[in-house]
Structure 1
């Protein structure tokens, strides 16, 4: 495979797995210290206090929420439009944004879209509607989005095909972003986008999706900064390596080498490169009540924890902020068969299906099983990547059951008031599988929050 070459400020750091990633972090430590002095000119928010944002492929709103909550007394973001085609996902987004908006002071309300309706970005009519919103607002500053990743994900072994419709949506994102003419574009996806060819039908299938995207953006006047970032670096209790492409319009006045080798991304706050230790699974979920296989109660009480203990756990304080006191929602678990629960009894912390290979008789080709299948998490480490945790059957560190929706949501660093809708009705118990997939697709909130804060400095 052709090796990509990137300019300074655009280094890609591949993250093959957690153990190799930790070794990389040690090597990057000195680099991070050197990179403390970088050029951030404060141009973007210099002449306006509120930056206008359009959110594409918004999902349930995890990425947009990071931007909404990144505001400070001097500058903030306003989301003009959130484009999402799935009406159930859009309902989740609307509920979460309206909850956030209801907790703002009167003089800071109005940061969320005025309307929420399913949007198909392939359709001219829907794209024109967003263009009209942008025109009425006097322009746009930032476009953000996490395009569907199924076609690039190694966990979807049948999806590595550039002819898949999901893969083409990246080009849709870029084309429409360029048409909106923002100063900043932020794209998120899985690492697989880096080596997936744009077209298997091409005479030169070494041109990857990212190669094509970068070429288009450069022609349109943008400086390109790609990076692979681990969510655990930013206080998320999960190793989740994701590709980000940040494009800055040349009119902002930056040069490619203004940001050193790290690029225009926030420096890690956690792990070997940061000031703090990684946030662990234990720190993230130990205050949630003990439950059983198939738990279906929507509302429950937190486990008793003293005010002093809560104050010492910075992550838990963040998760509980703005939430109804004492009550947790969505601590729900998919029911597994008794023979599956029996398997879990024999898996140690950090272990997986390989520890119970002799019990995997219902698997046709056990050797092709992903390493995260039947993975039991460890209390004293960040979680493995939270994909669709029901399908991968991630196991609680000590209870013989799968993770609950709320536990997995915590491991994505989404706050306790963040909710997922399972249908278009108001039944909170319905559609657990829809909720689980929305969570799997979400961008880790605290990582997005740090990126959004950094962009405000540009």
Structure 2
């Protein structure tokens, strides 16, 4: 992590894989002497009111928004006045989760979720006007949050690292909306590929500037101080190493400069991992309490043995997962059906192993040397998970049982609480199906990381 600059893409350290990231973390801890500087925050955001108004763009299923909703309490927190999302199934998931939170949370602001949930296409002027109208009716907003679809920047799809990819161009609409709304704070999330993906000018000539450089120039010219970072979700209690790019933009009217924040920037200090107060949350702590299931399990609601008080006291993460959940049941503990030959492969892979342990069995791969190292990866009980993308396509394996992960296990590894759900019926593929739920999960921001950032913003 380094101090912000007008070209943040050149200053943020890319975290290529878990091994190299651990080496970087050791260097960071040594350079900071294991002690983070305490920034001087003066509460500028909440000086006029304690209910900070939020608009979210490219909202997805609500992982980022739920983190903001749960960061507050009855007297101080966030109100999401509008959620812009085009996909109707994703929007239904978001609506379901927000309404569940509103109905079950004891410690929340009144009227903290949107009144309407209708599809919004931010590439269309008429739809953007609905966002601006909601902002006007609310009397302005304080924060804009969101993450544009990452397909054009993802390391799993490198052929799309180009300026003309239509997904990359969605960033333009995020910038346009955010600057039109003119909040005090902007929070953008995406994969690390946004750091090096080039952007073209109006004549489609490639320039050396990256997408992030372009964003930074736009926000800086509009009066924002920028804080870029690549954050690992495991630093904030998520049982998963998941490195994502975040750009936090603070309007200069708040009175903050880079000098207020020290080397770590305007983000919360890590709470887990080397040099922090707690060890990383492990796969065991995250999913070991869930009932055993078989390959192809499709029972959506299952009986669940609630943890004892002692188990909850000794496992902070499990306590968070069970808060507000329906007692004695678990939802979404369902597993994709894999062919017998796939299960046979699973049986020959040890904990921490991957496709290289079964190279002789991978006869249906035309060029096995191009296979990603996390394909057919069996998780290890006593460390965080690898990054959870589309875990079915990656064939991520349970640490002990010879099957793929269930939707609920993968949700836990994303730190999504047990009441958080994804819409799209399993029985009817036309309504989304399990595969569609798995993709929603892959696109979701890790809840506990968002919660930590939201709580930090509340202090600004």
SS of corresponding position for 1:156: helix
Q: Return closer, same or farther for 1:340/1:196 CA change in 2, 3 Å cut-off.
A: same
| Residues 70 and 108 in structure 2, CA contact (< 8 A), matched pair in contact too | no
Unaligned segments of structure 2, at least 5 residues:
none
- Per-residue CA deviation, residues 420-441 of structure 1 (Å, 9 max, x unaligned), is 0015999999610110000000
Q: Return closer, same or farther for 1:301/1:430 CA change in 2, 3 Å cut-off.
A: farther
Q: Which residue in 2 is equivalent to 1:40?
A: 41
Q: 1:378 aligns with which of 370, 377, 380?
A: 380
Q: Give the alignment of 1:314-393 within 5 angstroms.
A: 314-393=316-395
- Per-residue CA deviation, residues 377-427 of structure 1 (Å, 9 max, x unaligned), is 000010000000011010000101000000000000000000000159999
Q: Which residue in 2 is equivalent to 1:88?
A: 89
- Per-residue CA deviation, residues 87-115 of structure 1 (Å, 9 max, x unaligned), is 00000000000000002459833100000
Quick check: 1:25 aligned with 2:8? no
| Residues 8 and 261 in structure 1, CA contact (< 8 A), matched pair in contact too | no
CA distance in 2, matches of 1:69, 1:327: 23
Quick check: 1:99 aligned with 2:108? no
SS of corresponding position for 2:225: strand
| Residues 3 and 264 in structure 2, CA contact (< 8 A), matched pair in contact too | no
Q: Return closer, same or farther for 1:107/1:59 CA change in 2, 3 Å cut-off.
A: closer
- Per-residue CA deviation, residues 229-257 of structure 1 (Å, 9 max, x unaligned), is 00000000000000000001011111122
| Residues 426 and 434 in structure 2, CA contact (< 8 A), matched pair in contact too | no
Quick check: 1:160 aligned with 2:161? yes
Q: Return closer, same or farther for 1:304/1:456 CA change in 2, 3 Å cut-off.
A: closer
Quick check: 1:179 aligned with 2:180? yes
| Residues 3 and 258 in structure 2, CA contact (< 8 A), matched pair in contact too | no
Q: Give the alignment of 1:5-24 within 5 angstroms.
A: 6-7=4-5, 12-24=12-24
CA distance in 2, matches of 1:178, 1:423: 38
Q: Which residue in 1 is equivalent to 2:53?
A: 52
SS of corresponding position for 2:438: helix
| Structure 1 length-normalised TM | 0.95
| Structure 2 length-normalised TM | 0.95
CA distance in 2, matches of 1:403, 1:338: 16
- Per-residue CA deviation, residues 121-160 of structure 1 (Å, 9 max, x unaligned), is 0111111111111111110100000110011011123322
| Residues 354 and 373 in structure 2, CA contact (< 8 A), matched pair in contact too | yes
Q: 1:261 aligns with which of 263, 266, 274?
A: 263
CA distance in 1, matches of 2:369, 2:231: 30
- Per-residue CA deviation, residues 13-50 of structure 1 (Å, 9 max, x unaligned), is 32111111112222222527443321211100111010
| Residues 8 and 256 in structure 1, CA contact (< 8 A), matched pair in contact too | no
Stretch of structure 1 that moved more, 231-240 or 33-42: 33-42
Q: Return closer, same or farther for 1:333/1:107 CA change in 2, 3 Å cut-off.
A: closer
| Residues 53 and 144 in structure 1, CA contact (< 8 A), matched pair in contact too | yes
| Residues 4 and 258 in structure 2, CA contact (< 8 A), matched pair in contact too | no
Q: Which residue in 2 is equivalent to 1:282?
A: 284
| Residues 9 and 225 in structure 1, CA contact (< 8 A), matched pair in contact too | no
CA distance in 2, matches of 1:318, 1:32: 31
Q: 1:311 aligns with which of 303, 307, 313?
A: 313
| Residues 421 and 428 in structure 1, CA contact (< 8 A), matched pair in contact too | no
| Residues 199 and 210 in structure 2, CA contact (< 8 A), matched pair in contact too | yes
Q: Give the alignment of 1:227-238 within 5 angstroms.
A: 227-238=229-240
Q: 2:418 aligns with which of 406, 416, 419?
A: 416
Report the RMSD for the aligned CA atoms in angstroms. 2.2
CA distance in 2, matches of 1:70, 1:158: 38
Q: Return closer, same or farther for 1:425/1:373 CA change in 2, 3 Å cut-off.
A: closer
SS of corresponding position for 2:93: helix
CA distance in 1, matches of 2:240, 2:3: 29
Q: 1:450 aligns with which of 433, 449, 452?
A: 452
Quick check: 1:113 aligned with 2:111? no
SS of corresponding position for 1:155: helix
SS of corresponding position for 1:89: helix
| Residues 9 and 261 in structure 1, CA contact (< 8 A), matched pair in contact too | no
CA distance in 2, matches of 1:427, 1:317: 34
Q: CA deviation at 1:6?
A: 4.5
| Residues 73 and 109 in structure 2, CA contact (< 8 A), matched pair in contact too | no
| Residues 237 and 280 in structure 2, CA contact (< 8 A), matched pair in contact too | yes
| Residues 191 and 241 in structure 1, CA contact (< 8 A), matched pair in contact too | yes
Q: Which residue in 2 is equivalent to 1:432?
A: 434
CA distance in 1, matches of 2:108, 2:218: 40
Q: Return closer, same or farther for 1:370/1:53 CA change in 2, 3 Å cut-off.
A: same
SS of corresponding position for 2:53: strand
Unaligned segments of structure 1, at least 5 residues:
none
Q: Return closer, same or farther for 1:230/1:110 CA change in 2, 3 Å cut-off.
A: same
